[in-house]
Amino acid sequence: MTRYEEVATLLRQRIEHDIYHVGDRLPSIRAVCQEMEVSISTAQEAYRQLMDAGLIESRPKSGYFVLPSRVPSVLPSVSRPAQRPLDVSQWDQVLELVATQRDDTRLLLGCGVPNLTYETLRPLSKILAGLHRSNNLYGFNYDKLSGSPELRQQVARLAVTSGCLLHPDDIMVTTGCQEALAISLRTLTQPGDVVAVDSPSFYGTMQILKANGLKALEIPTDPQTGISLEALELALEQWPIRAIQVTPTYNNPLGYTMPEARKRALFQLAQRFDVAIIEDDIYGDLAFSLPRPRTVKSFDDDGRVMLCSGFSKTVGPGLRVGWLAPGRYRDQAQHMKYVSTGASATLPQLAVAEFVAKGHYERHLRYATRQYQRQRDIMISWVQRYFPKGAGISYPQGSFLLWVELPAAVDCVRLNERLAQHAIHVAPGSLFSASGKYRQCLRLNYAFTLTPTIEAAVRTVGELATEMVQEAQQHAVVA
């Protein structure tokens, strides 16, 4: 055995004996050299061996980290939705999920809320407090319909990292990203129109379609590369699609990020059929490695992409600070903004603008994404340990949401009913489809600090899901 193999074996044993846990950072190259009295090249080769074995990964400027027992080899299936426009249902389930958001009596494993306890958010609290203590009552007045100039300037600066060159006047502040999506859909469509969406798709957008009398045409979607451009092209040839709505970066709920070439191809396809794109980029800043992915909007040379985003998933949903870059549809979008909420609340805009301008936002993102990446690996290891064998697990490269596909025998709506007896709640996959598909799937949140209590809850979810599989097998034998 060579010296680097000896070092790799020792580190492997430490990982296998839980001296280094999933998500932990391993000793630096320098520390390994000092402890084991080896050269830098030997230590580097040992780490390369462990990476090749799938035990660890290298993160730029951060070091080496322990992966789950294996990166998921079984991903969720490529979706196969209905091949026709559908009316959206599932409002009752969405309402139930929304009603649980401030429920302190249940452990909410499936909510879409970031971690709000990090110290890196403390400067924002101080900024808000300072604005409230100020004798200047400017913050109590209406702001501009398009939003605070200070905030729009900061948003334009941040957009550069996604490949977009936006002027502050290209940006409209909204009351959360949800309003940006609603404005975009109302701008582009009339009741009865068809909107193409990835599948599964964010339930909030689906309910906007329902509220506006629109039909959803769900397009097959790959858990790694996103919406099928081939299927979308066929749909555009067959149906009078008015808009394409996608979340191509750190997708909610499937977790995929479309490769850059496919984002460009998506835009070119929209150009060819002269259809608008509504791009939801609310998770785009939560990249685990830099540079963060480009948006579809970054390829937009004729203004047909309406880019929606905000600070709900990075800073805090309660601030209700979102934004929209409406492109060529600016005038219509402003009218829709006026008739929905008018100007958005001034104080949160000013606070977020100052938080970004002083560099606090970027520091917060660096800290939060390091934690989320580590917690992703821990959550995956728990799902692999406790859930039924063969479960498909997403592997997002950003954000804090995990999509799990269970065996067909598991109905996650019924699973939630059983979990209620244990004060646990998950987001069933049927929420994310117009017709209630994906009942065997669920969404998990790994933003919160993963305590033994949360591990026990994940174990309970897995045990009850396994019981459902066993019950189905017993019924099959009897039949």
What value does the mean pLDDT take over residues 31-46?
Answer: 93
Q: Alpha-carbon distance 458 to 259, whole Å?
A: 31
Provide the pLDDT for residue 70.
58
CA angle 241, 78, 414 (to 5 degrees): 100
β pairing state of 305-310 and 276-280: parallel
Among 55-69, 181-195, 273-287, 362-376, the minimum mean pLDDT is found in: 55-69
Q: Tokens 């970031």 map to which residue?
A: 114
Cβ-contact 282, 309 below 8 angstroms: yes
Return the structure tokens found at 218.
Answer: 């769900």
Beta-strand ranges (E) seen in 128-200 are 172-174, 194-198
Q: Give percent of the chain with pLDDT exceeding 70.
A: 98
Res 103 pLDDT > 80: no
Provide the pLDDT for residue 135.
63
What value does the mean pLDDT take over residues 298-327?
Answer: 97
Provide the pLDDT for residue 358.
97
What value does the mean pLDDT take over residues 160-176?
Answer: 97
Of the candidates 384, 381, 402, the one whose C-alpha atom is nearest the C-alpha of residue 447 is 402
Provide the pLDDT for residue 59.
85
Provide the pLDDT for residue 69.
64
Provide the pLDDT for residue 460.
98
Domains identified in the chain and CATH numbers: 3-66 (1.10.10.10), 90-96+100-114+362-478 (3.90.1150.10), 121-360 (3.40.640.10)
What digits encode the pLDDT tens for the residues 251-261? 999 999 999 99
Cβ-contact 293, 271 below 8 angstroms: no
Res 238 pLDDT > 90: yes
Provide the pLDDT for residue 331.
97
Res 381 pLDDT > 80: yes
What value does the mean pLDDT take over residues 184-210?
Answer: 96
What digits encode the pLDDT tens for the residues 388-439? 998 999 999 999 999 999 999 999 999 999 999 999 999 999 999 988 899 9
The better pLDDT of the pair 289, 173 is held by 173
Provide the pLDDT for residue 138.
74
Instruction: Count Cβ neighbours within 10 Å for each residue of 93-115 and write b for 16 or more, e otherwise.
Output: bbeebeeeeeeeeebbbbbbbbb
What value does the mean pLDDT take over residues 85-91?
Answer: 82
Q: Alpha-carbon distance 183 to 177, whole Å?
A: 10
The H or E element spanning position 37 is: none
What value does the mean pLDDT take over residues 209-218?
Answer: 95
Provide the pLDDT for residue 398.
96
* Reduced 3-state DSSP string for 65-84: EECCCCCCCCCCCCCCCCCC
Provide the pLDDT for residue 83.
84
Res 27 pLDDT > 70: yes
pLDDT band at 98 (very low <50, low <70, confident <90, very high): confident
What value does the mean pLDDT take over residues 327-354?
Answer: 95
3-class secondary structure, 246: strand
What digits encode the pLDDT tens for the residues 125-147? 999 999 888 767 777 888 899 99
Res 361 pLDDT > 70: yes
